[in-house]
Amino acid sequence: MTNAHVLSGIITHFAVQLPVVVVCLAAGLITLNKWSQAPSAARWALLGFGLALLMTLIVPITQAAVGRVLIHSDQSPQTINLVFSGLGFFWSLLRATTYLLLLVAVFAGRPKYTPAPPASMSQA
């Protein structure tokens, strides 16, 4: 596998991730614009969208680098599969973390909900 092939794979992955990049950048700008209205929620949202954006960069680079190292080593196919499965699990944990951060952003800084007392039934 040549450097050109690795670079081509990374560029292809970035192209596939373009919608995620655009949404994360737009969400970041909107969040910064709304910061004064809900600073606590904005902080969590920026962390969530920032991690999602960071993952669009680090995942393909790491996958390509690890793949290149493993291909040039004398590792068995089972070992290579195990390494990529571990990486896949790690990426999944990071993705779950983005969802968790965004969930916290939804509820951060909101007042506690207290339901209204039920209407009186004696008026009937």
3-state class (DSSP) for residue 17:
coil
The pTM for the full model equals: 0.79
In contact, 101 and 47? CB cutoff 8 Å:
yes
Scanning 1-124, the segments in alpha helix (DSSP H) are 3-16, 18-33, 39-71, 77-107
pLDDT of 124 reads 52
Q: What is the mean pLDDT of residues 32-59?
A: 94
Q: Over the chain, what is the mean pLDDT? A: 89
Q: What span, in angstroms and rounded, lies between the C-alpha atoms of 50 and 18?
A: 15
pLDDT one-digit tens code per residue, 54-81: 999 999 889 888 988 888 888 888 988 9
As a dihedral over the C-alpha atoms of residue 86, residue 55, residue 16, residue 19, rounded to 10 degrees, the angle is 140
pLDDT of 23 reads 96
